Every structure is written in structure tokens, then in C-alpha cells.
Structure 1
Amino acid sequence: MSQFPYQFQSYQFASPQAGPRLLISGAVHGDETCGTQAIRRIIQEFDSGQLLLKRGLVTFVPVANAKAYAQQSRFGDRNLNRCLQPTTEVQEFEDAVANWLCPLMAQHEILLDLHSFRDAGQAFAMMGPEDNQGTIEPFTQAREEEDFALCLGVQRYVDGWLGTYSRWLSTHGKSDQWKFGVGTTEYMRSVGGRALTLECGSHLDPHAPEVAYRAIRNALHHYDLLDFAQATDLAAARAQAEMLSLYHVVDRLHENDEFSRDWRSFDALKAGDQIGTRADGSAVLAEIDGYIVFPDTHAQVGTEWFYLARRTERLQRKA
């Protein structure tokens, strides 16, 4: 029997007319199934003739991580959305996934990766950086990626992931390990594409599959891949957007470090608000107005306890 008794599946629809090459993926984390449900619904609509590709190519990956999906767990052997890159040393199942998924991404121009999150909350899109020539995540397609994000049907957008993660690593003397923060979207940008992660709602939210389905349809319309037009008013979407940027990570330093309340991602903070208490009794306070993101009550000592984000005018100033 194979070391990994699973198989990879993708579904591709191609038009005789040239056009954009779009990849849509689900279940990078196996317990995040809203994208899988939405993708299978769209595939059925193409198969039945309800949808017809006008131009270009679209590839669907309903389940990126088959082992994690079969286990109904976040990981198979490890987090697929960290240190994502092809490898000649296949030791864990996610290594095999990377060797299949990364070349598939490189064959496309655009990626929409569908996820969900643990706690209750509204859907949001994770975006890449603004255009830059830096060493961590150089990019030249920020405006195109912003327009893509604005078409998805959500109102909250977040950037700053890889830069913030890299700065956190540098405080631990690991600045050369920033590639550990590379997931699907970061890899897609590294091979010349544009990419978005859409967090469609909580794992158990019955509306999350509809958020994912609507986003797929909107993406197909945005890139003019379907026979009928349905343009998004991008100016209106920009005006309504809530743009946040991650800027800082706070570590859990001791097992007795505790939050002051049951925080959820995007809970608002005012300068001086107490976020938690260290084991020695000292308070952890918000230095500026902002938001807490990805709070982890069960964080291991020496790892990320929570992220901080602040509101920016990135989308509005581009209008």
C-alpha cells in the first residue's frame, strides 16, 4: 500500500477562447469544509450546463488536504498553510500535497483559497501587501488584487500577515525562517500570481458555504469568465470597506499568562484596555486603538498569543 493512501483531485473547465487562469481551492485545512461544499455546487452547475465558461480556464480543488479532510481535522501531519513549497524529501503527507499543489498554482494567474475559522464572526478576506520591492514579499499587482478582493462580497479586509510574522521571528533570532509563514496565497504571489484567502465564517456557520459560493460566482464574473455580465461597483465597495493591517504579535511567555476576557478576533481595543495578565501579575495593555486578532487561549509558551491590527485607509485612498 502507498505511504499515503489518498489521491489528489482537481476539476478543470477550459474555454476555446483565451482568458484568465483561475484556481479555486478548499479544505487546505481539513475541518474547514465550507469551500468544499461551495466548490462542489459550482462544479455541478458547470457539469449540468447551467454555467458555461466564456473564456479562459478555471480549476477547482474541492479538497486540497485529503488526509486532514478524511480525519475531519485541521492538519494531516502538519499545517499545509505553513512553509508551503515543493520538496524532494517527502516525509509528511503535506509534503506530498505541496509537490502536487504548488505546480498547479504556478499554472494559474489567480488563486481564491476558501477557509473558515473556529469562533463566531463575520467573513473577511486576507490580502497581500501593497506594491513593494522588499525581500520578504515583493509584489507589483496590489491594485489588481484589491479589485479582486472587493468583488467577493465581504466588507472586512486584512493585510500585513507575512511582514508581521517575519518581524515576530526576528525578535526570536529567527529572521531567516520567515518562509515558515508562506501558505497558499504567499506561494501564489511568489510565482507571479495574485491571490486571496477568504475566511467565510466559522466552521459551523450554516451560512459559510453560501458566502463561499457567492464569492466563487463573483470571482467568475469579475474576470469575465461567464456568458452573462454582473459587474461589481468597486468604488462603492471601496467606500464601504473596513481595511485592517496586522502590525504586532504578542507572545505567551508563561503557562499562567491569561486573557482578561474571552476575546474573539476583531474585537475592538481602546488604548489602555487590559488584554491580559502575565504570570507575574503585570497587565498586558493595548498601546493604541485597534483590534485583537487570532487570540489563542491554548497557545504554547514562546509562541504567538495574539496579533494586533489597526485600521488603515489603504482601500479608500486608492479610490
Structure 2
Amino acid sequence: MSYSTQPAFIQSHQFTALQPGPRLLVLGAVHGNETCGTQAIAQVLDDLASGAFAIERGVLTMVPVTNPLAYRQRTRQGDRNLNRNLRVTAQPADFEDHVGNVLCPLLEAHNVLLDLHSFHTPGQPFIMAGPTNNAGGLEPFQRSEEETRMVAHLGPRRVVEGWMDVYARGVERRQHAQVAPATPTVGLLDAGYGIGTSEYMRSRGGYGVTLECGQHDDPEAVGVAYRAIRQALALLGMASLALKPAVPTFEVLRLADVIDREHENDRFTQPWKSFDPVKAGQAIGQRHDGRIVTAPANGFVVFPNPNALPGNEWFYFAQESDRTFG
């Protein structure tokens, strides 16, 4: 597809109150086949247009379709995954580079992010949270208390952490692997591969989370996203909306590893769903040459993607975490 036939703009809706306050950015369809956020944003826009509530403090910006090419194609990505290697690029090489050059300044202009996603297989909603406060080199962060409070009020009771650590592990493994030149792993070999919307927001002094609202086609996912937007506005004091109580207890998991699909004939041993439990040594998949991929310990399969491109993430492995939320 020539660039002239690709989408030429990203549409956003901004509401600026007369009283100062937080600057909240809500994103939908960062991946084009994940449309629950798009639909939820439309419902919030209807609420604001009808006067059901108003933005009374701060700035609310909502982007219903963050990746319009992928959305038009009804695919996860256009030329590549927008939610990886997110940065400003002086010489854009693909459509997502152009989007990043608009999206990154938009993230920098806000201080709180709610990024709405969905996933392949059936399962309950969950939140991807950032690290605890730290001054380390991988993902330094000093707003964990605010982010934790946000997590506690969005609704889902399952939280997953450890994304940047596991991405770094995956990049290191790929850099040492013998990968055929035709395997599409160019971005996957970049040390900045793990940086998506929430990671970029944290790197610029803000905070925010990615909310996985349910399976792509589950109509309940739209309600999860809609309620989360309203809860975020209530929590931040931006609108006169009732704040529901924090979730009392959480299931917290930490990603331990990412396993790539090496060949188009690599197959799972069963139709895994996210957070299916596995025992140490249990077979999860079989490589094209007969090798068995097993669980390294007791844990959980996360984001299994039977249609992953060779050289891309096939599934993640997670274990229970002792971190607390709420």
C-alpha cells in the first residue's frame, strides 16, 4: 500500500476544563483489532454531549483509533506493532513510525494514561502495571503510589507486572539466536523493543496503565473499558462521578519469560487461554522439528498466540508475585 492511500490523520477529542487539574489521555485501538476502547470512548463522548456529566477540572483527551491503518485492516498492526519501540523517529520507515511521531508528543502533553486493549483468547480482564519506585536503569519510576491507586479502582482484580524485564530478556535471547534473515525480527532485536504507551508515559514523568478488557469480540469488554474511563475521571477528581470502592484483593502475577515462535509449524499442545495454570515440566508446545517446549516451573501461560509470526512472541510465562495492590 502506498503512503498516499494510508490514513492521513489521527482523530482526538479534547475537553479542557476552566479549572486546572490532571491531564488524562485515554487511548483506544492501539492495536487495530482491539476495538473495545474505541466503542467505550464513543459512549463517553455521548455522555459528555448529552450533559450526563462534564469535565470540571483538568484536561481529558480521548483517541478512539490510535492506529487507523490497523483499524481499517481489522488487524493487530499496520506495518508493525505500534505498542513496541514507541519513540519519535527523525526518518519514519513505516506507518507506525508516523503515528509514533504524533503519539509521543501527545503522551508528553499529559500526565496520566489509560490505554484500553483486549486479547485473543477467552479470559477475565486484567491490568498491566508498571514497576515499584526505583532508580534503576531499565525503567526508573517515582509515581508508583499514584499508579497503584489507579489500578485499585479500575475494576479488574488481576494484575500483571514485569513487562520491561521480560522484554529485555527476550531481546537478549534473540540477539544471540541464529535467526534466518527472512524472519521478521528487526524491531524485536532493538533494546527499546519493550517501550509501549505506558512505558513511554512513565519515561516522561507521568504514570498510567494498560487495561486488557477481555477477549476481542466479548461485548462485556466494552463495559469494562467504559467503567474504567469513568472510574479514572472520578479518581482524579476531573468529573462529578461516584468513585466505586477499590478492589479489596488482587491476584498479582509477574512475567518471568517470553517464548518466541521459531517456525510456522510450531504448534501448541492444546488451545491455551491466558492464565491457564501449568506445572513444572508440563508440555506447552512442540517445535516444527519435534522439540517440546515445557513450563520451567509452576506458573501460568499468558498471551498465547497460535498465529504469531516466526520470530515473534508465541506466549509468555508468569508466576505468582508477592507484590500487593490496593
Q: TM-score, normalised by structure 2?
A: 0.89
C-alpha distance in 1 between matches for 2:3 and 2:192: 29
Give the drift of 1:178: 2.2
Select which of 201, 208, 219 maps to 1:188. Answer: 201
Question: Which residue of structure 2 lines up, in the alignment, with residue 261 of structure 1?
Answer: 270
Select which of 107, 120, 123 maps to 1:121. Answer: 123
Question: Which residue of structure 2 lines up, in the alignment, with residue 221 of structure 1?
Answer: 234
Residues 195-231 of structure 1 deviation map (CA, whole Å, 9 limit, x = unaligned) = 1111111111111111110110111111111124x23
C-alpha distance in 1 between matches for 2:72 and 2:141: 36
Question: Which amino acid in structure 2 is aligned with residue 180 of structure 1?
Answer: Y
Select which of 243, 249, 252 maps to 1:231. Answer: 243
**2:249 corresponds to 1:240:** yes
Question: Which residue of structure 1 lines up, in the alignment, with residue 223 of structure 2?
Answer: 210
Question: Which residue of structure 2 lines up, in the alignment, with residue 144 of structure 1?
Answer: 146
Question: Which residue of structure 2 lines up, in the alignment, with residue 200 of structure 1?
Answer: 213
C-alpha distance in 1 between matches for 2:39 and 2:296: 41
Question: Which amino acid in structure 1 is aligned with residue 24 of structure 2?
Answer: L
**2:82 corresponds to 1:80:** yes
Q: SS of the residue aligned with 1:144? A: helix
Q: Which moved more, 1:185-194 or 1:83-92?
A: 83-92
Residues 90-142 of structure 1 deviation map (CA, whole Å, 9 limit, x = unaligned) = 23221221111111110100000111112111111111112222212111111
Residues 22-57 of structure 1 deviation map (CA, whole Å, 9 limit, x = unaligned) = 010101111111101110110121122111122111
Alignment gaps of 5+ in structure 2: 177-187
Alignment gaps of 5+ in structure 1: none
Give the drift of 1:280: 5.2
Question: Which residue of structure 1 lines up, in the alignment, with residue 54 of structure 2?
Answer: 52
Q: SS of the residue aligned with 1:178? A: coil
Question: Which amino acid in structure 1 is aligned with residue 36 of structure 2?
Answer: C
Question: Which residue of structure 2 lines up, in the alignment, with residue 17 of structure 1?
Answer: 19
Question: Which residue of structure 2 lines up, in the alignment, with residue 292 of structure 1?
Answer: 301
Question: Which residue of structure 2 lines up, in the alignment, with residue 38 of structure 1?
Answer: 40
Q: TM-score, normalised by structure 1?
A: 0.91
Question: Which amino acid in structure 2 is aligned with residue 54 of structure 1?
Answer: E
Give the drift of 1:248: 1.2
RMSD value, Cα:
2.1
C-alpha distance in 2 between matches for 1:49 and 1:280: 61
Q: SS of the residue aligned with 2:193? A: helix
Question: Which residue of structure 2 lines up, in the alignment, with residue 271 of structure 1?
Answer: 280
Q: SS of the residue aligned with 1:240? A: coil
C-alpha contact 2:111 2:205 (8 A) present in aligned 1: yes
How has the CA–CA distance of structure 1 residues 42 and 254 changed in structure 2, closer, same or farther, with 3 Å as cutoff?
Answer: closer
C-alpha distance in 2 between matches for 1:179 and 1:199: 22
C-alpha contact 1:157 1:241 (8 A) present in aligned 2: yes
Give the drift of 1:256: 4.7
Question: Which residue of structure 1 lines up, in the alignment, with residue 181 of structure 2?
Answer: none
C-alpha distance in 2 between matches for 1:303 and 1:68: 18
Question: Which residue of structure 2 lines up, in the alignment, with residue 28 of structure 1?
Answer: 30
Question: Which residue of structure 2 lines up, in the alignment, with residue 156 of structure 1?
Answer: 158
Q: SS of the residue aligned with 1:173? A: helix
Question: Which residue of structure 1 lines up, in the alignment, with residue 184 of structure 2?
Answer: none
C-alpha distance in 2 between matches for 1:10 and 1:303: 31
Overall identity of the aligned pairs, in %: 48
C-alpha contact 1:28 1:81 (8 A) present in aligned 2: yes
**What is the aligned length?**
313
